[in-house]
Structure 1
Amino acid sequence: MGLADIAAGIEVTDTQDARGVATVDDTDATLAERLEPFASALPCSVTAAATVLERYAACGSVGAAGRAADVAPMTAAKTLYLLGESVSPATPLQRDVLADWHAGDLSRREAIELTGLSETEFALAAYVETHDPIEEACAAVEGVLAGQALDETEPLADAVGDERGF
């Protein structure tokens, strides 16, 4: 095979094809519509869950998200957890104490004293330790919380420390 055979079919053009980032958005459904199949597993209505997600993504406050959706902050926290957000107030050591309490090795009072958590924090941590996020629902709302804590004016805000260097 010669060079002429290899070059056969090659064309020279005056312009280059536009190359860009390919984007695919196959979700024409609203957030509430995407959550509808999981309505029975959520601690609030799908409309309230969608409002909690959107408000939390905008402000990062569970309390504000709950107020916007007209649900208790605990319900908002449970909803966020089931949809993939980390909301547990417990450290790994506190989670070990919770596991001992759940296994019946400690009384509730002892577990609360050992963890140092408030009643509300203990209740949320216990919920997180005894429930799993809804994987399909997490996939359905993927990306809603992705940019929640980033400063849009600084593209590398999540990669750099504060002015003190940490």
Structure 2
Amino acid sequence: MGLSDIASGVKVTSKQHDRSIAAVDATDTPLSNRLAPFADDLPCTVEAAVTLVESYVDGSSVGKSARTAGLAPVTGAKTLHLLGEPIAPLSPMGRRVVREWIDAQCTRAEALELSNASEVEFALAVFVETHDPLPGVRETLEPVFTPDSAKRSTITKRDVLAETMSNADDLR
């Protein structure tokens, strides 16, 4: 079999398909009601946070989700961080430099240069390093961020891959 035989049927396209996360919220309580207890600690309204989360879970970027919710992208990123979604605007090395600046081990100018971050990225990284996610919010939103979490807890990776695995008798 030659390379041309292998490549036959391969097509090049210039259009990509949107691949989003399939999420199922198995709870009966609306997302706005679950976020209401955290309203005072969010940098936006509960309605904007609901729109942000729904758009983000549907596969949109943080920036696009924020714009859909009528928020600035940085506010959207801050909100997602506070809701327990891992947001990392900088590399691990950049985050270490930000922590050193927070601990007064270097100047802001040095930290900006060493982290190789823009002003906005640096400000968001400082927010992430100085604000923990809201206590209890991730558990409240787990059904939204984790697709079909109830099913996944009973099905193991071994169950899913059972057809592909062989046992010792197959080796004889």
Q: TM-score, normalized by length of structure 2?
A: 0.68
Question: Shift of the alpha carbon at 1:143?
Answer: 2.5
Higher RCO (CA-CA < 8 Å; seq separation 6+): 2
Partners in 1 of 2:83 and 2:126 — Cα distance?
Answer: 17
Is residue 84 of structure 2 the alignment partner of residue 84 of structure 1? yes
Greater helix share, 1 or 2? 2
Question: Shift of the alpha carbon at 1:47?
Answer: 0.8
Partners in 1 of 2:30 and 2:73 — Cα distance?
Answer: 23
Question: Shift of the alpha carbon at 1:89?
Answer: 1.5
Match of 2:59, as an amino acid?
A: C
Greater CA deviation, 124-133 or 98-107? 98-107
Aligned counterpart, 2:69: 69
Aligned counterpart, 2:55: 55
Greater CA deviation, 103-112 or 71-80? 103-112
Question: Shift of the alpha carbon at 1:93?
Answer: 1.6
Partners in 1 of 2:106 and 2:96 — Cα distance?
Answer: 11
Q: Which runs of 5+ in 2 are unaligned?
A: 1-25, 148-156, 158-172
Q: Which runs of 5+ in 1 are unaligned?
A: 1-24, 148-155, 157-166
Partners in 2 of 1:143 and 1:118 — Cα distance?
Answer: 34
Question: Shift of the alpha carbon at 1:145?
Answer: 2.1
Looking at CA atoms only, which structure, 1 or 2, has the larger radius of gyration?
Answer: 1
Question: Shift of the alpha carbon at 1:43?
Answer: 0.7
Please list every run of at least 4 consecutive aligned residues from structure 1 whose deviation after the TM superposition is greater than 6 angstroms. Answer: none
Partners in 1 of 2:54 and 2:135 — Cα distance?
Answer: 19
Residues 2-58 of structure 1: per-residue CA shift (max 9 Å, x gap): xxxxxxxxxxxxxxxxxxxxxxx5x32210110000001111011111110000011
Aligned counterpart, 1:136: 136
Aligned counterparts, 1:116-135, within 5 A: 116-135=116-135
Q: SS in structure 1 opposite 2:89?
A: coil
Partners in 2 of 1:88 and 1:104 — Cα distance?
Answer: 21
Q: How many residues align?
A: 124
Q: SS in structure 1 opposite 2:56?
A: helix
Aligned counterpart, 2:114: 114
Residues 63-90 of structure 1: per-residue CA shift (max 9 Å, x gap): 1111111010001001111111111112
Greater CA deviation, 32-41 or 93-102? 93-102
Q: TM-score, normalized by length of structure 1?
A: 0.70
Aligned counterparts, 1:13-24, within 5 A: none
Percentage of matched positions with identical amino acids = 47
Aligned counterpart, 2:145: 145
